[in-house]
Amino acid sequence: MDILAEIKPETVLRTKISLASILININNIYEAEYSPACFNLNATPNDKVLTVIRYLNQCINENDGGKNITLDSLEKQFFVNRYYLCHQFKKKCGMTIWEYINNKKISKSCDLLRNHHSAMEVSNMCGFNNYTHFYRIFKQITNMSPKDYLSQIEKDKKQYM
């Protein structure tokens, strides 16, 4: 019991922050490999939708954040009609290709914001063509602005101090 009494509060806080960081990293790895959109796929090795999801995840995680993803590029890359692909994607994933892409980009942007990048930097790193588009999509998905998101993070940090 004496050992526990000697532990400083800042040590406990550092431990909690480290644990939270580890859990966030585990969650990011899990999301990249086993996205919720993939759960209902019952995929075969030749499943185009699963292949497209893996490709999208890879593109979004690259430096440009998937800025060059278009239906035309997907059609050419996977030798499949864009309308058929969109229909199959929505049928299997329950969301459109663009909803999926935007959700992944905003998930990545939340991680970057937590790691002290500016909202403008995050906008570029996540493949948005301009800050206004990033702001609109961020608010649509998270129900708060990037600034409010950062404020919430700071508030949560102070709460645990």
Q: Which two tokens stand for residue 96?
A: 């459109």
Q: What is the extent of the structural domain holding 39? A: 10-159
pLDDT, tens digit (0-9, with 9 covering 90-100), for 112-153: 999 889 999 999 999 998 999 999 999 999 999 999 998 888
Which tens digits make up the pLDDT trace of 65-105? 888 899 999 999 999 999 999 999 999 899 999 999 999 99
Could you tell me the CATH number of the domain that includes residue 96? Answer: 1.10.10.60
Residue 22 tokens, joined: 């580890």
Question: Does 1 reside within a domain?
Answer: no
pLDDT at 35: 54
Query: Does residue 115 sit within a domain?
Result: yes
The per-residue DSSP string of 90-156 comes to HHHHSS-HHHHHHHHHHHHHHHHHHTT--HHHHHHHTT-SSHHHHHHHHHHHHSS-HHHHHHHHHHH
Distance in angstroms (rounded) separating the CA atoms of residues 92 and 101: 15
> Two tokens at 126?
């996540």
**Structural contact between residues 77 and 85, judged by C-beta atoms closer than 8 angstroms:** no
- Establish if 5 belongs to a structural domain: no
Q: Which residue has the tokens 């700071």?
A: 154
Say how many domains are in the chain.
1
Structure tokens at 150: 């950062």
Q: Which DSSP category does 46 fall into?
A: T
pLDDT at 159: 74
Residue 4 lies in a domain: no
Q: Which of 71, 57, 34 is nearest to 108 (CA)?
A: 57
> 127: closest CA among 107, 153, 151, 152?
107
Contact between 46 and 40 under an 8 Å Cβ cutoff? The reply is no
CB 122 within 8 A of CB 109: yes
> Which amino acid, residue 31?
E
Residue 42 is assigned to a structural domain of this protein: yes
